Amino acid sequence: MEFLVGTHINFLGHRRAAFILSAVVILIGLISLAVQGGPKLGIDFAGGVLLQVKFDQAITAESVRESLEAVGVEEAEIQHFGGNREAIIRLMAEDAEADDLAGRILERLNTDNPGNTASFMREELVGPKIGEELRAKATMAIIYALIGILIYISLRFEFKFAAGAVAALVHDVLITLGLFSLTGRAITLPVIAAFLTIVGYSLNDTIVIYDRIREDRRKLYGKSFVDIVNTSLNESLSRTLVTSLTTLFVVVCLFIFGGEVIKDFAFALMVGVIVGTYSSVYVASPLVVEWQIKQEARRRRRHG
Amino acid sequence: MTPKMRWKVLLVFVVVILAAWRASYTFRFLSMSEEDLAALSTDQVEQLEANAIRLGLDLQGGMHMVLEVEKEGLSADESKDVMARAQEVITNRIDQFGVAEPSIQIEGDDRIIVQLPGLQDEQRAKRLIGRTALLEFMPVAVMEDTDIVLRAIDRALSEQMLASGEISMETETGLPLSETERLERERPFSVRLRFPGELPFMAESDVAWAKAKLAGLDLAEVLPTYPDDPTKPRYRLAWHADTRVLSDDGEDYRGFYVLENEPVMLGSSVVSADVRPGLDQDYPNAPGISLRLSRSGGRTFADYTGRNIGNYVTLVLDDVVQSAAVIKSRIPAGTPASLTGNFTDEEASDIAIVLRAGRLPAPMTVIEERTVGPSLGRDSINLGVRAMLIGFLLVVLFMLIYYKAAGAIAVLALVVNVLLIIALMSSLPVDPRPALTLPGLAGIILTIGMAVDANVLIFERIREELRNQKTIRAAIRDGYERAFLTIMDANVTTLIAAGVLLYFGTGTIKGFGVTLSLGIIASMFTAIVATRVVFDLFTSHWNVKHLSI
């Protein structure tokens, strides 16, 4: 069985509409980011304490909050899941280590709820210094990755292709950041790792299409660039969709079945795969076409 | 079959068998339950573990801690030394704690990274590792000196409190002050002390206030200082670690100590520390720590006790008085000293450990800590594997439906991929061995989805060539050829991202970089070499006429 072969979709004909759609989605994300004062940083980057506990029976978030206040924790974020039996508590604390805050919270939760044992699942503590360092490291990693990729594509293809690819990447990252902001998810180290993976993966798609364009340019010499790219996109459609589909299968499985710890990571991957595929077709290629058209127009004006 | 073909088939065959064999250790190890493991001998378990994939702390459970050493106040010489000594002390303490495969590494100038896999009691480990453990034998100042000190404190506090308006020498009624009221204002500290015997105690409810007030004083100004060092006070103030109930009112009281600021002996004179029961009459059921002193330490102590009969001496641990005793007679060298208090078995054991291992040469703070409990570790493995199996199944179904027999070949390639990743991770002769973390497991899952890509590229090309009326063998050959460059290009970019993660990442993220990189390399091998061999076998060697793709 096969589908989507021999299609003649006029991808590039829709490109104005596609640009507007992308712009709108990015704008929504940016507004959400602006309203929340920037991306929500997890304790990896903002510093703080995370404690995950599991109770025998369901417990209300309010009662957990009461126990927290009893140990002197005023502001904490409590995330409830697992049939209301598990909770992840996130808070900022000055002297968390000196106090063994996590230990005292756990003790208090147990004394406040006799008969409903709170078991320790995991704890993370990130001091402000480390938070700063991790922020710097993450930024460096992203910059290096982008530079490496830019160089690579510029070597394999012309510069305008690289520009289109990078634009698609920026588009993907912005949309994913926006979605994180809209869904209230925090940016942690694994999420940055997911971003980098998306960057690499989205490029994957884009390059396959670029390869096709390069081949078709030779094969279909004489046709207009718009026609060539449209043909390439149609030819690659089947492969693009199948790969994205299989990757999406596994990532969705990870999101649904993988458990709470990996959920944000899987969410980033999910969004990244969908948006990355879209951007390879509707952002990278049309931008290259626009660039080419403008280039040709400039050339004609000079010689004509 | 051409000789070239033969080599290729052999290569693929050998690789697959090797991968399957190496990966089998991991499958066996991970699928064994607690009871199964207990049934094996320790040697067998060790061998299995060594050959199976190493699990990260987030899948095994355990603690990862980064300590920062405070180098302020150290001389240049001490500064160089301190990291190595700190590492030694921590290693000693952890050795006694009994964790398998601990890792204690110095990082940079002033950091120590401690990793304790499989750790059960992380609170205890934290306390054990972090305490400075400065043990001192401090003499208690004699009555006259204590008096002088208390008066000085009272004067200073009284002045302070009058100046800040906290107290005033006038009353609301305008009547002259009563004796008690005057005492409260002139001797705000001493008025709160009680002397059931020779040593002062303060009600626990006042202690927080007292500590805050004392912290606000510059002791070098308030107390008498040494003639040759005017910045060093002659006396040190300390509190007892425990409270006790004084007979009449049932309230908790805490001992307050005015100590001479020169220790008789330091903890370095302690040669061994053992936990013994019943060392203290006040706490007959509590364990105490029996300290054996070095020869010079023993002589010093004998000397001191001989000259100070009737005086009190205290054992101070990290500036907190653990025990105070009156010297009843000269303690001859060789007699063990005892450190007692209201200890639990665990507390006594921990104090003995830190005393034996030595004190930390400088204070340390924990700047990062990540601990995963064993049950979450197990949960994560189960959930991760489950997600992997379901995802794998979906991909398999799809490939079979969409690409039919060729899809089956791709599925086999997928299986070999996973085997390869696991085999490589468990067999690479790198130190430290790569560990499988939860993101790492996600990386394997991701490669399952992405590995299909290479095959898809090839199959789609082959389909195209077939559509262009080429023969089967030509279609296969051209399909692989055309697709090869594209596969390389596409995978290189993901490899760049994975490489960056490998380089910049630590811990769990590094694990992800490792599996992603290995996965991409493995998928390139299987897609380009392995599946080609299978196709060629079918068409050239076994002369299949129709390609089910």
Size of interface A-B (CB pairs under 8 A): 215
Query: What gap in Å lies between CA B157 and CA A172, rounded to an integer?
Result: 64
- Position B141 scores a pLDDT of 92
DSSP assigned state of B434: P
The alpha-carbon gap from A187 to the nearest alpha carbon of chain B, in Å, equals: 14
For residues A32 and A176, the answer to whether their CB atoms sit within 8 Å is: no
Note the pLDDT of residue B545.
66
- Contact between chains at B500 and A2 (C-beta distance less than 8 A): no
Contact (CB, 8 A) for B435 and B55: yes
CB atoms within 10 A of CB B72: 8
Q: What is the model's pLDDT at position B439? A: 87
Q: Which of A4-13, B52-61, B285-294, B386-395 has the lowest mean pLDDT?
A: A4-13
Tokens of residue B370, six digits? 């990540």
- Using a CB–CB cutoff of 8 Å, tell me whether A101 touches chain B: no
Q: Is B507 a residue whose pLDDT tops 80? A: no
Angle (CA) A9-A12-A18 rounded to 5° is: 105
Confidence at residue B544, expressed as pLDDT on a 0 to 100 scale: 66
Distance from C-alpha of A298 to C-alpha of B374, rounded to nearest angstrom: 66
Residue type, A115: G
pLDDT, tens digit (0-9, with 9 covering 90-100), for B172-204: 777 777 888 888 888 889 989 998 888 899 988
By CB neighbour count within 10 A (0-12 exposed, 13-18 middle, 19+ buried), where does A111 fall? exposed
Question: Minimal CA–CA distance to A281: which of A11, A7, A10, A22?
Answer: A11
Parallel/antiparallel/unpaired status of strands B252-260 and B235-245:
antiparallel
B488 touches chain A (CB under 8 A): no
Mean pLDDT of B523-538: 81
The pLDDT value given to residue B267 = 77
**Interface contact A250, partner B, CB < 8 A:** yes
The answer to whether B106 and B112 are in contact (CB under 8 A) is yes
User: Using CB atoms and an 8 Å cut-off, which of residues 151-180 of chain B contact chain A?
Assistant: none
Average pLDDT of B77-90? 80
Mean pLDDT, chain B, as a whole number? 83
pLDDT score of A266: 93
Q: Are B387 and B445 in contact (CB under 8 A)?
A: yes
What angle is formed at CA A152 by the lines to CA B521 and CA A267, rounded to 5 degrees?
60
What is the structure's pLDDT at A274?
93
Q: Do B342 and B321 form a contact (C-beta atoms < 8 A)?
A: no
Domains and CATH numbers, chain A: 12-41+130-303 (1.20.1640.10), 48-126 (3.30.70.3400)
Prediction ipTM score: 0.84
What was the pLDDT predicted at B207?
A: 87
Q: In the prediction, which pLDDT does B127 show?
A: 76
- Write out residues 93-152 of B within 8 Å (CB-CB) of A: 122-123, 126-127
**What pLDDT was estimated at residue A3?**
62
What is the per-residue pLDDT for A304? Answer: 63
CA-nearest of B387, B410, B363 to B110 is: B363
Q: Domains, chain B, ranges and CATH?
A: 3-55+373-541 (1.20.1640.10), 63-130 (3.30.70.3400), 135-366 (3.30.1360.200)
Q: What percent of chain B has pLDDT over 70?
A: 97
pLDDT score recorded for residue B543: 66
Closest CB from A125, A250, A259 relative to B369: A125
Disruptive mutation site among A54, A110, A196 for chain B (greatest number of B CBs within 10 Å):
A196
Which residues does chain A have within 8 Å of residue B512's beta carbon, measured at their own beta carbons?
190, 193, 197
Give the gyration radius of chain B's Cα atoms.
Answer: 36
DSSP-assigned letters across all residues of B29-66:
HHH--HHHHHHS-HHHHHHHHHHSPEEPHHHH-EEEEE
Q: B235: which strand partners? A: B260
User: What DSSP assignment string belongs to A149-201?
Assistant: HHHHHHHHS-HHHHHHHHHHHHHHHHHHHHHHHHHT--B-HHHHHHHHHHHHH
DSSP code for B140:
B
Most confident of B140-149, B178-187, B329-338: B140-149
Element housing B258 (H / E)? strand B252-260
Mean pLDDT, residues B479-495: 82
Confidence of residue B92 (pLDDT cuts 50, 70, 90): confident
Cis peptide before B432 (omega within 30 of 0): yes
Cβ count within 10 A of residue B353: 20
**What pLDDT does A22 receive?**
93
Name residue, tokens 């380089």. B503
The amino acid present at A194, given as its one-letter code, is A
Using CB atoms and an 8 Å cut-off, which of residues 57-76 of chain A contact chain B?
A: none
Contacting B residues, span 66-95, partner chain A, CB-CB under 8 Å: 66, 68
Percent of residues, chain B, with pLDDT higher than 90: 10
Q: How far apart are CA B275 and CA B288, in angstroms?
A: 6
Predicted confidence band of residue B327 (pLDDT cuts 50, 70, 90):
confident
Expressed in percent and rounded to 5, the helix, strand and coil fractions of chain A are 70, 10, 20
Read off the pLDDT of residues B54-72 as tens digits, 9 standing for 90 and up. Answer: 888 888 888 998 988 887 7
Q: What is the mean pLDDT of residues B111-138?
A: 81
User: What pLDDT sits at residue A94?
Assistant: 64
pLDDT tens string, chain A, 304 residues long: the values are 566 666 778 888 888 899 999 999 999 999 999 998 888 888 888 888 899 999 988 888 888 888 888 877 778 888 888 888 888 888 887 655 556 778 888 888 888 888 888 888 898 988 888 888 888 888 888 888 888 888 888 888 888 888 888 899 889 989 999 999 999 898 998 898 898 888 888 888 888 899 889 888 888 888 888 888 998 888 888 888 888 888 899 999 999 998 888 899 999 999 999 999 999 889 999 999 988 888 888 888 888 6
State which H helix or E strand residue B350 sits in: helix B345-357
- Mean pLDDT, range B451-457, rounded to an integer: 82
CA gap A170, A21 in Å, rounded = 15
pLDDT of residue A95: 56
Q: How much is the pLDDT for A272?
A: 92
CA distance B540 to B549: 17
Which amino acid makes up residue A142? I
Q: Is A39 on the interface with B (CB under 8 A)?
A: no
Residue B408's pLDDT is what? Answer: 87
Question: What is d(CA A119, CA A116) in angstroms, rounded to the nearest whole number?
Answer: 9
Beta carbons within 10 angstroms of residue B38's beta carbon: 9
